[in-house]
A = this chain, B = another copy of it.
């Protein structure tokens, strides 16, 4: 990893550029649903846990400060896509729970999001893609035993 011919073969540069590309394309693809990449990701994380997930956990999963989640969840809640429900075990927590409407919209959004990924990575070997997911997962969530897919 020592020598590189130019910044254009630098992994950090490529990751940043690819991330920008995907976020932009996903924002466009989700615009008709009045979702952005951010709000879709938060909604999706709520849909992954039917019993609800503390707001702080959503922030951690998104790599954001908890304060940045407030407005995102506010909007999803106003649209009745999620609810902030009190956690009976710890009243400091607010569990973010997806509503039926939230799950329905998330399913539509997930399809559109997958089309974006397909556009950029559809032509490459699925095994190589899985390997990339694994590498990125290790970088983003270290010391986690992850079973992808």
Contacts and interface: CB of A to CB of B under 8 A. Distances in A.
A5 to B, nearest CB: 6
B120 A9 contact: no
Given A129-B11, A149-B5, A17 B135 contact: no
29 contacts: A1-B114, A1-B117, A1-B121, A4-B110, A4-B149, A5-B148, A7-B44, A7-B48, A8-B146, A9-B133, A10-B44, A12-B23, A12-B37, A14-B140, A15-B15, A15-B19, A16-B22, A16-B37, A17-B62, A17-B63, A17-B136, A18-B140, A21-B140, A120-B139, A121-B139, A124-B135, A131-B132, A132-B132, A132-B135
Contacts of A55: none
Specify how many copies of this chain sit in the oligomer.
Answer: 2
Contacts of A141: 8
A135 B114 contact: no
A138 interface: yes
Contacts of A148: 5, 9
Nearest to A26: B12
